[in-house]
Amino acid sequence: MAANPMSQFDVYRIGPEIKVGAFDISFTNASLFMILSTLSILLIFNLGSKKNSVLPNKIQLLAELSYTFVSKMISDTAGSKAKPYFAFIFSLFMFVLFCNMFGMIPYTFTVTSHIIVTFVLASFIFIGVTVIGFIKHGFGYLKLFVPSGVPAVLLPLIVVIEIISYLSRPISLSVRLFANMMAGHTMMKVFGGFVISLGIVGGWLPLSFSVALTGLEILVAFLQAYVFAILTCIYLNDALNLHH
Amino acid sequence: MVKKIYFQSIFFSFFFNKEAFAAESGGMPQLNPEFWISQIFWLILTFGVMYLVLSKLILPKISNNLESRKSQILENIEAAEKQREDSDTKLKEYEEIISKSKLEANSIFNQTREKVLKDISAKRDVLDKQIDDEIAEAEKEINTLRKNAPDKINKIAIETSSELLQKLIGTEVNKSSISAIVDDLSKRNGDKYYGN
């Protein structure tokens, strides 16, 4: 298992096989880490919101700083109209961040390194944003595909490009997160394998690489969660405030 | 040499890894759809529960905490500002009282000084008058004394000279002639003796 850098992404069943109709919804290691992530989020934020002291303790400070961080991010990118979606974007950011960070612990499973997970999240965002756009602007939302100030000759081409770029949003959003997670973890595994195979004599160089990569990957874990959330905000901004 | 072995071993180990990877499974486990439904199900379940709990229970509490802290801080700032204003007005009042009392003290001081000066001058006037009176009286006395003095001296001179003459020549001399001489002398030489 340790030799294959891709085996860390294997999903396997924990406990018995559970089937609903034709669908297999067995409890897997992926489910375990989803539950761990959500439980730690709920635990931290529950502890952080329990007491309301004027001078916050560490966990309250953590919860309030995260709250203001996400709330500032939303108001900066999507304006005040995006306030009703704050809870969703907050949950999204925290979920992706915690899944990424749990993946940084050795021998854990990274939920966000699976394309299906990120794709479900991204398509939910895509569908949600599109529905919000049509509810807010009716068919006027289609003006999103017709940028102003474009010469009439170029317009058909531009509209096609805009539609393709709009439709590829869920793919780019999901693949960005998934590919970053997978590549980073694979690279760490490969360098870890080098440490073992080169032994005590030559293993120091890949070991130092591994240490540096761990730092980089923690940064990437945060950054990708941030990018995921901020792109959601930008898409939401398109739907709420039609700029074109 | 050591360097060469080192990089060779890195290269070979990568080769090994690749071999093992190629041998063990047919690519990325992510593309194996066996557990896709399970992952979707558990994702929706966990994320949905987390979203509900966060949005209904926890986030309102945090926002409430932040709001209440903000309002509390604002209230405290307001109270502090009000207290500062109060203390400013108090300070002004205090300064006013101080300046007023200074003025009052000054005026009281001036008044008393004037009064004391007046008293002193009045008393001095009285004393001056008394002194003047006494001086005048004394001068009068001196004048009477001085006026009477030549007569007495003349008398003494007449008596003394008559007795002297009697002793010297043994006969009584007519007192009236002696007194005439003395009067004449005193009239002539009075200035020299009495300073008149």
pLDDT in tens, B105-144: 999 999 999 999 999 999 999 999 999 999 999 999 999 8
Residue B5 pLDDT class (50, 70, 90 cuts): low
Q: A29 at the B interface (CB within 8 A)?
A: no
Q: Residue A31: list chain B partners with CB under 8 A.
A: 38-39, 42, 46
State residue B192's pLDDT score: 65
Which of A7, A13, A18, A34 best probes binding to B when mutated, by most B CB atoms within 10 angstroms?
A34
- Residues A64, A68, A71, A73, CA torsion sign: negative
Residue A18 pLDDT class (50, 70, 90 cuts): confident
Distance (Å, rounded) from C-alpha B127 to C-alpha B21?
135
Q: A126 at the B interface (CB within 8 A)?
A: no
Check whether B22 has a pLDDT greater than 50: no
User: For B90, what's the count of Cα atoms within 13 Å in the CB-facing half-sphere?
Assistant: 6
Q: B106 at the A interface (CB within 8 A)?
A: no
Across residues A217-224, what is the average pLDDT?
Answer: 96
Distance (Å, rounded) from C-alpha A47 to C-alpha A51?
8
**Of residues A82 and B175, which shows the higher confidence score?**
A82
Across residues A192-213, what is the average pLDDT?
Answer: 88
Q: B73 at the A interface (CB within 8 A)?
A: yes
- Nearest-CA neighbor of B21 among A193, A181, A177, A116? A193
Q: At what angle do helices A29-50 and A58-78 cross, to 10 degrees?
A: 100
Per-residue pLDDT tens over the stretch A36-69: 999 999 999 999 988 877 788 899 999 999 999 9
State residue A1's pLDDT score: 41
Residue B61: partners with Cβ closer than 8 Å, 6 or more residues away: A49, A50
| Lowest pLDDT segment from A117-131, A139-153, B182-196 | B182-196
Cβ–Cβ of B50/A31 closer than 8 Å?
no
User: From the CA of B65, how many Å to the nearest CA of chain A?
Assistant: 6
Bridge partners (DSSP) of residue A20 are: A23
Distance (Å, rounded) from C-alpha A71 to C-alpha A89?
9
CB proximity under 8 Å: A 56-85 to B: 60, 63-64, 67-68
- Residue A173 burial by Cβ neighbours in a 10 Å radius (0-12, 13-18, 19+): buried
**Of residues A22 and A113, which shows the higher confidence score?**
A113
- List C-alpha distances in Å: A211 to A105, A181, A188, B12: 13, 17, 9, 22
* Helix, strand, coil percentages for chain B (3-state, nearest 5): 95, 0, 5
Check whether B188 has a pLDDT greater than 80: no
Q: Residue B75: list chain A partners with CB under 8 A.
A: none
- Nearest-CA neighbor of B153 among B192, B182, B189? B182
State residue B7's pLDDT score: 54
Check whether B14 has a pLDDT greater than 90: no
Instruction: Look up the pTM and report it.
Output: 0.71
Q: Residue B40: list chain A partners with CB under 8 A.
A: 116-117, 120
State residue B28's pLDDT score: 82
Check whether A77 has a pLDDT greater than 50: yes
